[in-house]
Amino acid sequence: MRILGVILLPLAGAFPRALRSSGRDFVSDSGRVVRLHAGEMHYFRVPEIHWEDRLQRLRAMGLNAVSTYVPWNWHEAAEGSFDFSSDRKDVVRFLRLARQQDLLVIFRPGPYICAEWDFGGLPAWLLGRAMQEGFNLRTGDQKYLAFVDRFWDELLPRVKPELLENGGSVAAIQLENEYGHWGDANQPSDRAYFEHLRKLVRRHLGPSVLLITTDDDEAVAQGRGGLPDVLAAVNIGPWQEDVRKHLEKVFGNARLHNGDAPELVMELWSGWFQMWQHDDSAKKQFQTPGGQLLDYVKALLDRNASFTLYMAHGGTNFGFWPSAGFTMPEFGSSIRWHSAFVSTSYDYAAPIAEDGARLGRHGLGSDGVDKYGGLRNLLARHRGMEDPPLPEEPSPPALTAYPGAGHAGEVPMRRKASLRDPAALEVLRSGGAPALVPQPRAMELHGQQGGMVLYRYHPADPAALGHAIERWHAEGSGREPRFWPRVVVALLAAVAGATFLWRCPRCCRCCSVCAVFMASIAFNVHDRWSQPDQAPLVLRARDRVTVWQGDTLVQRPHLNLEHVCCPWQILDLAVSLAHQGSGSLDVLVENLGRRAFMPRHFMGEAFGLRDIWYDWKGLVGARIGSAPLPGQWETFALPLADLHGLNGSAPAQSLGAAAGSGPTFFEGEFFAPEEESGLADSYLRFEAGPWQTGVAYINGFNLGRYWRGAAAPLGLYVPKSLFRRGRNALVLLEMEPVPSDEGASVRFEATRG
């Protein structure tokens, strides 16, 4: 089907200078109908050296627009300090590159974005302020809006020259994101929030730029996620067998809000994100058949609807930026809850793979269909008669192996300092000298965005832990309760869970599991500490916890795969009462990502919303049984965002210090070609060594986490811009104990494996 008088790919010299909605169509300043065939690509997830290449691939696939979020915390990681110029943060350059490729831009500046990005793009320092001052995020709360104003006052003036009317590429601005899951714009307080956002955009960008919101179709139909006179787009997954019936239902709901307006799918999910934890639903969605995706795109083309492929190119979650997921309980051989954490790779099974390739495992659906090639052919058949042919796809990206000096080209890794080594703590910690406080505090309360915190407990006296254990047993807490009292407690727990089930049918799966879990605690919790020299150390902590008593590692890295309502970790800590000289404790807490998505109307305020959504990280409480630990705490903030301050090297071990147990730095070196033309992208592979889970740095840059045995890929993508000609330094912070350096090596390969 060919469409006369319709812009599908802007012609040279005919790029629109405005875009507005007129009836069922988007219309340019010249009066021509514009169908938006967009692809989502996040400038902050793609190496800046590859921005132009990836945009060219979008255009060659047949798309005429690119959509991108703007993460607030990416540009204001520290309160009041804005960065729009350093690597992967020059959003204006990205917009101008899109214009050079004749791509329109759908600009999505939040302030909340989800995007499987830490805390949905909201800054950690903002969470800390909200926790301390008691104001609400994503609402009309004036304290929150003051911070939004400050961010958009920095961002939007930079965008104004890039609007279509000013010769740029920005065609539309999205307000907020999927708000109908969180709030209800029919309510005055939430309506005021959206009115404020619109007023801000109009003040900075003028009266004519097109505004949109997006939500699932039911939230759109009910008007929960936007304003009555702002076009509401819909988000959908290509997972229904009857595609046309599904689209008719979705757009029918959208018409209840939009009336006679353009049909726009803001997110047609081309795959799904991957998580470290195994999740059958996420795996199935990641493996979305390519043919199924093509069926949806064809149906959208046939009804002249506009759409965005989410994602067209996914990219990489470098550093500590991936979020935690919101995963419901699972049933199987055992009942378990978990918060899942998004992986370093954000490939998304998108048409354009993480490394830019078209073909291979990541460019294909589970049915073997090449998504990129299929979409290019499909979109080419639906082009207007006046449009030129699609540009040729760029040459495949270059990938290479970098051999090391070890066996078969491996890069040998040498053990360096323990993370707890005094010299390492001195060079890695941020802020001033640690102060002693009576209780540990979450990392957000001192403005820390990511990384880890080491909490060092100083007992009131050397025997404090031993005395606390004695008191716990003397008070009868460690005694074995009789059978029938345990039955009564279990029944009461089950009744409590059933009550929640009755009051909130949407939570039935969650609360029924909660009832069983509470009952199991009633039967089993006392069985674990019946020995007189043991007692439960109860930590209120998120996410991954390592514990030392003195210099002895007593708890290896422990991830609390908890239900979202229960952020308590109960660790077995055996303390010898005869040994009074080891009364100090070190608790290392690793932030694996804050939740990016939380449906407020689903959970309800009564279920502890502030503690669930306000996803603080670190340690906020510690006790033996029900008694707080007597003494003080010293806090070492360890952002570990990069190792540039150490010239890309691992911290040196203290003079005369013995090798520590637990998280440890390893360092290796390898050599790249001296010619710039010899550098290419690569993959860091861990299969050859003893590595379990940790963080990798190349020349000081934080590549992200690796995790053996996880559901997501083990290998890490390394763009060529991170390699240096000649000598390169590689550092691993391995979280699990590595008993021997034998075989401690990695590889750089041209494939992920």
Q: Tell me the pLDDT tens digit for each residue of 210-269.
A: 999 999 999 999 999 999 999 999 999 999 999 999 999 999 999 999 999 999 999 999
**Spatial distance between the Cα atoms of 590 and 543, rounded to a whole number of angstroms:** 6
Place of tokens 């001033």: 432
Structure tokens at 264: 């726009």
Q: State yes or no: pLDDT of 148 exceeds 50.
A: yes
Q: Quick one: pLDDT at residue 388?
A: 84
Range among 39-48, 131-140, 433-442, 655-664 rated most confident: 39-48
DSSP state of 245: H
Region(s) of the chain under CATH 3.20.20.80: 32-383
DSSP state of 343: -
| CA 232-238-242 angle, 5° bins | 100
State the average pLDDT over residues 272-296: 87
pLDDT averaged over every residue in the chain: 85
CB atoms closer than 10 angstroms to residue 1:
7
Tens of pLDDT, residues 446-468: 899 999 999 999 988 877 777 77
CB 263 within 8 A of CB 251: yes
Q: Quick one: pLDDT at residue 327?
A: 52
State the average pLDDT over residues 153-160: 98
Task: Return the H-helix or E-strand segment holding 510.
Answer: helix 508-524
Structure tokens at 676: 């710039």
Share of the chain above pLDDT 70, in %: 82
Q: Quick one: pLDDT at residue 477?
A: 57
Nearest residue to 95 via CA among 139, 152, 160: 160
Side chain identity at residue 685, one-letter code: R
Structure tokens at 184: 């209800």
Q: State yes or no: pLDDT of 660 exceeds 80.
A: no
Confidence of residue 483 (pLDDT cuts 50, 70, 90): very low
Full DSSP string of 186-202: TSHHHHHHHHHHHHHHH
**Spatial distance between the Cα atoms of 210 and 95, rounded to a whole number of angstroms:** 17
pTM flag (> 0.75): yes
Share of the chain above pLDDT 90, in %: 64
More confident residue, 366 or 60: 60
Burial of 347 (0-12, 13-18, 19+ CB in 10 A): buried
The sign one gets for the Cα dihedral 459, 464, 465, 468 is negative
**Catalytically annotated residue among 116, 176, 267, 667:** 267
CB 207 within 8 A of CB 260: no
Tens of pLDDT, residues 397-438: 899 999 999 988 999 999 999 999 999 999 999 987 777 899
Q: Quick one: pLDDT at residue 722?
A: 98
Residues paired with 310 in a beta bridge: 269
Q: Quick one: pLDDT at residue 424?
A: 95
Residues paired with 235 in a beta bridge: 267
Cα dist. 495→499, 501, 510 in Å? 6, 10, 14
DSSP state of 29: T
Return the CATH number of the domain spanning residue range 32-383. 3.20.20.80
Q: State yes or no: pLDDT of 155 exceeds 60.
A: yes
Structure tokens at 317: 């979650």
Confidence of residue 530 (pLDDT cuts 50, 70, 90): low
103-117, 459-473, 501-515, 606-620: the lowest-pLDDT one:
501-515
**Catalytically annotated residue among 48, 76, 162, 178:** 178
Q: Quick one: pLDDT at residue 567?
A: 47
Q: How are strands ordered across the β-sheet holding 452-459?
A: 436-437, 631-638, 452-459, 585-590, 544-549, 552-559
Nearest residue to 7 via CA among 475, 388, 571: 388
Tens of pLDDT, residues 110-145: 999 999 999 999 999 999 999 999 898 999 999 999
| CATH class for the region spanning 410-418+641-749 | mainly beta
Structure tokens at 584: 């100090």
Confidence of residue 582 (pLDDT cuts 50, 70, 90): low
More confident residue, 110 or 332: 110
Nearest residue to 614 via CA among 324, 341, 337: 324
State the average pLDDT over residues 155-173: 98
Q: Quick one: pLDDT at residue 515?
A: 43
72-76, 361-365, 517-521, 688-692: the lowest-pLDDT one:
517-521
State the average pLDDT over residues 282-301: 91
Q: Quick one: pLDDT at residue 658?
A: 63
Annotation says 267 is catalytic: yes
Q: Quick one: pLDDT at residue 600?
A: 60
CB 670 within 8 A of CB 447: no
49-58, 371-380, 597-606: the lowest-pLDDT one:
597-606
Q: State yes or no: pLDDT of 171 exceeds 90.
A: yes
Structure tokens at 654: 């203290």
Confidence of residue 502 (pLDDT cuts 50, 70, 90): very low
Which residues 6+ apart lie within 8 Å of 523 measured at CB?
486, 490
**Spatial distance between the Cα atoms of 394 and 680, rounded to a whole number of angstroms:** 16
φ, ψ dihedrals at 606, nearest 5°: -70, -15
Q: Quick one: pLDDT at residue 295?
A: 97
State the average pLDDT over residues 638-661: 88
Q: State yes or no: pLDDT of 613 exceeds 90.
A: no
Q: State yes or no: pLDDT of 341 exceeds 50.
A: yes
Which CATH architecture describes the domain 431-475+489-498+509-638? Sandwich (2.60)
Q: Quick one: pLDDT at residue 3?
A: 40
Tens of pLDDT, residues 681-708: 999 999 989 999 999 999 999 999 999 9
CB atoms closer than 10 angstroms to residue 97:
20
Nearest residue to 584 via CA among 435, 463, 436, 472: 463
Q: State yes or no: pLDDT of 510 exceeds 80.
A: no
Q: Quick one: pLDDT at residue 459?
A: 87
Task: Return the H-helix or E-strand segment holding 255.
Answer: helix 243-258
Annotation says 178 is catalytic: yes
Region(s) of the chain under CATH 2.60.120.260: 410-418+641-749, 431-475+489-498+509-638
Q: State yes or no: pLDDT of 484 exceeds 70.
A: no
DSSP state of 654: P
Tens of pLDDT, residues 63-112: 999 999 999 999 999 999 999 999 999 999 999 999 999 999 999 999 99
**Spatial distance between the Cα atoms of 490 and 484, rounded to a whole number of angstroms:** 10
Letter string b/e over residues 236-245, b meaning 16 or more CB atoms within 10 A of that residue's CB: bbbebeebee
Tens of pLDDT, residues 533-567: 677 788 888 889 999 988 888 888 887 654 444 44
